[in-house]
Amino acid sequence: MAGQKICIIGGTGFIGLHLTNRLTALGHSVSVLTRRPERHRELRVGTRLQLVQVNPYDAGTLSEQLRGSDCVINLVGILNEAGNSTFSRAHVELPRTIIKAMRDTGACRLLHMSALNADVNENRSRYLKTKGEGENLVHQSPGVEVTSFRPSVVFGRGDSFFNRFATFLKLTPPPVFPLACAQARFAPVYVGDVVAAFVHALENPASAGRRIELCGPNEYTLKQLVQYTADLTGNKTYVLSLPGFASRLQARLLGMLPVKPFSLDNYYSLQKNSTCSESAFPAMGINPRSVEAIVPRYLGTANSHARYDKYRAQARRAS
């Protein structure tokens, strides 16, 4: 199904950049909708890719951009709230606006990024609760053919997981790195495999109505992943597991910083393991790649200064 017209909301982030490059390489015409196109010059705008300035929360202007689209992709998600960027606004209000705009224009195919453990009945993590509300909202919208994706933590070049921990390890004096929720379990999934799952859904209309869990081939504790990051970057640090009360205290304190490296809501999210009951990759003919096969390609001592400079730039923008 080459040559489709696709609109992506949230396409300037980590996953969006990888997905946009893949879709244009396949011959699709992609419009990435963003409020601040001047901040995203890394996107290679050309005949198959447009960067369009749009407020996605405005149903009227959003409708103008979605008109004639074969597929709409929503990748928007936030891990922490800041100002008017709240969980409810990003995960519930925005999907509601997208659905309204799609109905107004006759667009009917939506690929929606949710999260593993998203659940409307979650009573502590606002992130997981609102992700669940948004996921249910789009699936229960008549006339819209929805496929949603529920990945574990996504890694790859430019990620905010391994790269961020590498920066935190660099900023923390050795010999000990205190880690909250160290026994939380993850099945990290490579961004290239997530992109392949989106492409598979795009090319297979029968996937409409499905909620697809995406996990990598192996499970790890958070401590194992952070210790692996330290070893890979040459950081001679021992990762120390904090007990529950200390993890919660760390979340409260770090949650007060302008750029929140860890918050109380993150703490609540980590009380549930980010692993799949059954990953959907085999049914799609995708062989997911492991952390060990990919992460050493981009994480190492040669990249440490670039990670640190990026973190400092993010801190300046948030202050």
What pLDDT digit, counting tens, does each position of 25-57 carry? 999 999 999 988 777 666 666 779 999 999 999
Q: Residue holding tokens 């961020």?
A: 164
Prediction pTM value: 0.92
36 token code pair:
């601040």
User: What DSSP string runs through 62-124?
Assistant: HHHHHTT-SEEEE----SS-BTTB-HHIIIIIHHHHHHHHHHHHT--EEEEE--TT--TT-SS
What pLDDT digit, counting tens, does each position of 55-113 carry? 999 999 999 999 999 999 999 999 999 999 999 999 999 999 999 999 999 999 999 99
Residue 47, pLDDT score: 74
192 token code pair:
């290239």
273 token code pair:
């393991």
Residue 279, pLDDT score: 84
Residue 167: CB atoms within 10 A of its CB come to 23
Cis ω on the peptide bond leading into residue 175 (within 30° of 0)?
yes
Report d(CA 138, CA 135) in Å as an integer.
6
Phi first, then psi: what are they for 213, rounded to 5°?
-85, 135
Residue 44, pLDDT score: 64
Residue 158, pLDDT score: 94
Residue 2, pLDDT score: 67
Taking 50 as the pLDDT cut, the residues of the chain under it are 304-305, 307-308, 311-319
